[in-house]
């Protein structure tokens, strides 16, 4: 039938657009339900605060790390927050004055084991790219530094380790990036933390200072898709860090948790302030 194929093509596109619109119009949780879940998360955060815990953050100078730091400071969930990094970060804001900063040499991390001691919770938002550090450099940071840090954290008494990994992480992938992410996830799991939470976000949406042209183009192309299908290919970094904190304050008896991009979106919606996108 002449022209049959192309008209089906158009129907397909129309269906796709309609599905996107429906997805956009439909609010999965009704307003009152959302409200009670938000109240619940506030109560959970208050309960957590009473536990008087301490944490460290690796990668607090990065896009995720600095947003996470903002979130844990704002929510006052810890009596002590330590940043572990290769350089000291300067903060203007008064709210940051009680931070402890440990400057370490990641190539000789064993010499800095004391920096990791005495933290209940650890967050790892370390990472680099092959473009920035070369293949060997990428493996050093995203695998070696991460694993060593987790080992020292475990030895130092950390009970809950949170790892920022990536969508698609898979130790048998033929892509170096996904393979390294999958490998380090699995090796950290072997350390057997009391609680181990792995986050696998898709492309992070943030306003990166540093120029990464390919990432910038990818983000721009993602705009219409992330509008129609919010949890398909991307996640705002603010949503990710809220998901990390919300997940932490929820008690659960699973030792190992894997949060994919969709779960991150769901959890990260809770406790979002209304004026955030202003
Ligand atoms: N960006 C994305 O779209 C995306 C998506 C999914 C998963 N992820 C993963 O999420 C994690 C965090 O991503 P991000 O975009 O938030 O990271 P980022 O902004 O690039 O920050 C990376 C952090 O790692 C530290 N770091 C990098 N190289 C280091 C080195 N050689 N020695 C010591 N510290 C080093 C940086 O410290 P300095 O400030 O000192 O350099 C910084 O604190 C990474 O593992 C990444 O693979 C990212
Ligand atoms: C919290 O823990 C720290 C150190 O373990 C302790 O010095 C502090 O008094 C505790 N605070 C409360 C309110 O229990």
Mean pLDDT by 10 residues, the chain (278 residues): 52 63 56 79 94 98 97 96 98 94 98 98 97 97 98 98 98 97 98 98 78 73 71 88 97 92 94 59
- Residue minimizing CA distance to atom 42 of ligand 1: 62
181, 196, 220, 262: the catalytic one is: 181
pLDDT at 256: 98
Q: Are 235 and 202 in contact (CB under 8 A)?
A: yes
Give the pLDDT of residue 187.
98
Chain centroid to CA 115: 22
Please give the domain boundaries of the chain with CATH numbers for all domains.
4-272 (3.40.50.720)
Q: At what angle do helices 176-190 and 146-155 cross, to 10 degrees?
A: 10
What does the alpha-carbon distance between residue 119 and residue 80 come to, in Å, rounded to a whole number? 8
Residue 177 known to be catalytic: yes
Report which protein residue has its CA nearest ligand 1's atom 18.
Answer: 62
Measured in Å, residue 274 CA sits from the centre of ligand 1 at: 28
Residue 109 backbone zone (phi > 0: left; psi -120 to 50: alpha; other: beta): alpha
Task: Give the pLDDT confidence score for residue 233 in this predicted structure.
Answer: 83
Q: Based on C-alpha coordinates, what's the Rg of the chain? A: 20
> For ligand 1, what atom is nearest to the CA of residue 86?
33
Let me know if 70 is a catalytic residue.
Answer: no
Catalytic residue among 177, 220, 254, 274: 177
205: β partners: 236
28: CB partners within 8 A, 6+ apart? none
Q: Is 76 in the pocket of ligand 2 (CB under 6 A)?
A: no
- Measured in whole angstroms, how far is the alpha carbon of residue 127 from the centre of its chain? 12
Nearest ligand 1 atom, CA 208: 19
């Amino acid at each position: 039938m002449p022209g049959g194929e192309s008209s089906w093509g158009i129907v397909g596109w129309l269906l796709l657009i309609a599905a996107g619109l429906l997805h956009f119009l439909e609010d999965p949780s009704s307003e009152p339900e959302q409200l009670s879940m938000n109240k619940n998360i506030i109560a959970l955060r208050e309960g957590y605060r009473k536990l008087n815990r301490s944490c460290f953050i690796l990668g607090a100078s990065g896009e995720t790390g600095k947003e996470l730091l903002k979130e844990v400071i704002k929510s006052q969930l810890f009596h002590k927050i330590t940043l572990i990094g290769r350089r000291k970060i300067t903060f203007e804001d008064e709210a940051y004055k009680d931070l402890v900063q440990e400057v370490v040499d990641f190539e000789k991390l064993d010499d800095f084991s004391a920096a990791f001691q005495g933290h209940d919770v650890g967050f790892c938002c370390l990472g680099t790219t092959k473009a920035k550090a070369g293949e060997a450099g990428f493996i050093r940071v995203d695998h070696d530094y991460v694993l060593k840090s987790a080992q020292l954290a475990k030895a130092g008494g950390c009970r809950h380790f949170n790892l920022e990994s990536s969508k698609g992480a898979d130790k048998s992938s033929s892509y170096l990036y996904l393979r390294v992410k999958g490998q380090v996830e699995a090796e950290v799991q072997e350390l057997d933390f009391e609680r181990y939470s792995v986050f696998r976000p898709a492309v992070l949406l943030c306003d990166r200072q540093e120029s990464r042209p390919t990432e910038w183009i990818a983000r721009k192309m993602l705009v219409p898709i992330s509008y129609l299908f919010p949890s398909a290919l991307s996640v705002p970094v603010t949503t990710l860090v809220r998901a990390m904190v919300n997940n932490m304050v929820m008690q659960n008896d699973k030792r190992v948790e894997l949060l994919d991009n969709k779960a991150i979106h769901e959890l990260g919606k809770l406790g979002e302030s209304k004026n955030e996108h202003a």
